[in-house]
Amino acid sequence: MIEFWTGALALTIFLYVLLDGFDLGVGMLLALAPDEKRRRDMLAAIAPVWDGNETWLVLNAAILFGIFPLVYATLLSAFYLPLVVMLTGLILRGVSFEFRKNSIRSRRLWDFCFILGSLVAAFIQGMTVGALVKGLPIVDGSYVGGVFGWFSPFALLCGIGLCLGYALLGAGWLAYKTRGDVQVLAFRLLPQLLAGVLAFLVAAFTAALFLHLRVMDRWLEQPILFVFPLIGALACWVMVGAIWRRREFAPFLCGVTIFAAAFGTLAVSFYPYMIPFSITIAEAAAPRSSQTFLFWGAGLVVLPVTLAYTLVVYFLFRGKVAEDDSSY
């Protein structure tokens, strides 16, 4: 049972990172759009799906709360300030999306909020992962780090890295969904963003080695784990070719593969810990009756159905965004 839920959590986190990743990325790239028409085209590319994408964050939280309440309580309270800032970022972003189409004069303000909200959310998500990799100050299952116990230059670096990564996904999505000026812009940005992501990954690995982070030990113990970074490197290589040949969908798929590789890398470095290296999956798990209760309804029925209708929604809104589809 707990294996099922660990898998489900991993899947929903990955889906969140991927799906909200590209629309947060588009949100950040909005800053580079020169005029209203370009901004509209960009937003139209994510309009039907962004709120569905954000749903996965709520599902992450739901599984954590229901199945791993100890992790939920520990992580959320430890990252108190950054989490609240991230949530307000997501709020600002969500309402700006709805508000901008109802306004003329204040439209630039809402665009600014949208860009800022996307940037802040992406940065804090990256910083949180960085702080987890570096290790939170936890004694006997309780967080003891105080107000800024999560802060470190390494976490900061990871924050910047995830912003670049999301922007890469976003540019890949725009290359796939748009045509004309926006697509040209996306193809111009893709190589730069890919270079930025690679530079970040090299820097993060070097820093992890230099800081003697405990995650690195597991890599030296089991060299087979290097298969994940290798997949990532391969995807980067394919992506360069795809950008060169102006393939419309391939760059996004390569971005997805890079994220999958990075996610796999992190997952195997953490396992069997949920909060490395203090709380394991087994320690964090809720009583079996909770797991079973959530399994028969949510796990067996709703999760597959949600996955299915996510696919349906993406299928319905497949292909290019109509140029005059200017609801946004």
Partner 1 sequence: MDATALLLSRIQFASTVSFHIIFPAFTIGLAAWLCVLEALWLTTEKPVYRRLSDFWRSIFAVAFGLGVVSGIVMAFQFGTNWSELSRRTGAIQGPLLGYESFTAFALEASFFGVTMFGRNRVPKWFYLFSCLMVALGTTLSAFWITLNNSWMQWPVGYRILPSGVFEPTDWSAIIFNRVVWVRFSHMLLAAYITSAFCVAATGAWHLLRGQFKVEARTMIGMALGLAAVLVPMQLAIGHLVGDYVHDLQPTKFAAIEARWEDEQPASEVLIAWPNEETESNDYAISIPYLGSLIGSMSLTSKEVGLKSFPVADRPPVLIPFFAFRVMVGCGLLMLILAWYGGFQVARHRIEQRRWLLWAIFLSFPLGFIATLTGWFTAEVGRQPWTVFGQIRTADAATPFLTTSQVATTLIIFAVVYSVIFAAGTVFIYRLLRRGPVAVPPLGIGKTNPKRPLSMSGNGLGDPEAQTIPLTKVEP
Piece of 131-139, 150-158, 247-255, 311-319 that binds partner 1 (CB under 8 A): 311-319
For residues 282 and 11, give the distance between their C-alpha atoms in angstroms, rounded to a whole number. Answer: 18
Out of 157, 211, 271, 326, point to the residue binding partner 1 (CB under 8 A).
326
Q: Does 22 bind partner 1 (CB under 8 A)?
A: no
Q: Tell me, what amino acid is at 200?
A: F
If binding is defined by CB under 8 A, does position 36 make contact with partner 1? Answer: yes
90-129 positions binding partner 1, by CB under 8 A: 90-92, 94-95, 97-99, 101-104, 106-107
Would you count residue 320 as binding partner 1 (CB under 8 A)? no
The yes or no reply on residue 271 touching partner 1 (CB under 8 A) is no
Q: Give the residue with the Cβ less far from partner 1, 95 or 203.
A: 95
Please state, as a whole number, how many other Cβ atoms lie within 10 Å of the Cβ of residue 297: 10
Residue closer to partner 1, measured from CB, 66 or 191: 66
In the list 11, 31, 32, 85, the residue contacting partner 1 (rule: CB under 8 A) is 85
- Give the whole-angstrom CA distance, residue 116 versus residue 21: 15
CA neighbor of 127 nearest in space, from 93, 54, 78: 78
HEC per residue, 146-199? CCCCCCCHHHHHHHHHHHHHHHHHHHHHHHHHCCCHHHHHHHHHHHHHHHHHHH
Q: Candidates 1, 2, 62, 198: give the one binding partner 1 (CB under 8 A).
A: 62
Complex with partner 1: residue 124 or 193, whichever CB lies closer: 124
Looking only at residues 128 through 147 of this chain, which bind partner 1 when binding is defined by CB under 8 A?
A: 143-144, 146-147
Look-up: residue for tokens 């890079």?
A: 258
Question: Footprint of partner 1 on residues 220-259 (CB under 8 A)?
Answer: none
Q: Smaller CB distance to partner 1: residue 108 or 246?
A: 108
Smallest separation (angstroms) from partner 1 to the CB of 153: 22
Which residue number, 15 or 168, has a Cβ lying nearer to partner 1? 15
- Whole-Å CA distances, 120 to 47, 85, 115, 160: 20, 8, 9, 10
| CA-closest candidate to residue 210, choices 157, 160, 150, 258 | 157
Cα separation, 172 vs 166, whole angstroms: 10
Asked if 47 interacts with partner 1 (CB under 8 A), we say yes
Taking the CB of residue 290, how many other CB atoms lie within 10 A of it?
A: 15
293 is a contact residue toward partner 1 (CB under 8 A): yes
Is residue 162 part of the contact set for partner 1 (CB under 8 A)?
A: no
Name the residue type at position 321. Answer: V
Query: 10 Å Cβ neighbour count for 192?
Result: 13
Q: How far is the CB of 292 from partner 1 (least distance, A)?
A: 9
Q: Which of 11, 73, 240, 260 binds partner 1 (CB under 8 A)?
A: 73
Pick from 150, 157, 96: which is nearest to 128 by CA? Answer: 150
Q: Do the Cβ atoms of 175 and 183 come closer than 8 Å?
A: yes
Q: Report the residue number, 29 or 121, with the smaller CB distance to partner 1.
A: 121
